[in-house]
Amino acid sequence: NAGVTQTPKFQVLKTGQSMTLQCAQDMNHNSMYWYRQDPGMGLRLIYYSASEGTTDKGEVPNGYNVSRLNKREFSLRLESAAPSQTSVYFCASKGESGGSNEKLFFGSGTQLSVL
Amino acid sequence: AQKVTQAQTEISVVEKEDVTLDCVYETRDTTYYLFWYKQPPSGELVFLIRRNSFDEQNEISGRYSWNFQKSTSSFNFTITASQVVDSAVYFCALHSGTYKYIFGTGTRLKVLA
């Protein structure tokens, strides 16, 4: 049982380049999330998907797009990377509501540097 | 508005000392969940505890304990007899009303040998 898998683990981009961060979960969770982590700012929500076919903006969506490809996969795309997008990105999925697993399960993170 | 405040940016203690990490939250919802996550130097986020708004019982798990007080909107985390392996960034989080989980800015704990 892999849980939440993110790829790649590390990436260096030049300003203006595009890339997609991939995330997949094998726990049959409905809700999935993308967060970014910056020093002193904690985890900030970029986008989330409450269920397959729906996506919503979080706190810091500018410069990003997302796709909920199917129930398992939720990708994050940077169309034109900027140095301000240098960060650690975490994907997460939420366990079933009402149960003891109603919490976020996180991937291992992607460290992205934009030069 | 929902908000989580972790006012302690960084705490240093000597091994075997007790340490308390503070978490203050804001929400207008009557039903909500509070969480603590640990992020060790390796970077992954590890779930520690979930508490719902209707359960104000304190919880103890080994050297870890949590004090939930609705009257002060606080959910504090105490590590007893700290160890070097406790060195990490600790995040408090709030979930209420929507699908969103709101995180605090984290507290970096350094336990010195």
Of the partner residues A56, A58, A103, the one whose CB lies closest to the CB of residue B35: A103
pLDDT over 70 percentage in chain B? 100
Whether the CB-CB separation of B75 and B67 falls below 8 Å is answered with yes
Determine phi and psi for A64, rounding to 5 degrees. -130, 155
Scanning B18-96, the segments in alpha helix (DSSP H) are none
Whether the CB-CB separation of B103 and A43 falls below 8 Å is answered with yes
To the nearest whole angstrom, how far is the Cα of B103 from the nearest Cα of chain A? 6
The Cα–Cα gap between A92 and A103 comes to: 10
Q: State both tokens at A21.
A: 């961060």
- pLDDT the model gives residue A1: 64
Of the residues B99, B102, B105, the best mutation for testing chain A's interface (the one with the most A CB atoms within 10 Å of its CB) is: B99
Q: Which residues of chain A have pLDDT under 50?
A: none
To the nearest whole angstrom, how far is the Cα of B100 from the nearest Cα of chain A? 8
- pLDDT the model gives residue B55: 86
pLDDT tens, B16-29?
999 999 999 999 99
Cβ of A42 and B105 within 8 Å? yes
pLDDT tens, A29-60?
999 999 999 988 899 999 999 999 999 999 99
Beta bridge partners of A73: A24
pLDDT tens, B10-57?
999 999 999 999 999 999 999 999 999 999 999 999 999 999 898 888
Whether the CB-CB separation of B90 and B109 falls below 8 Å is answered with yes
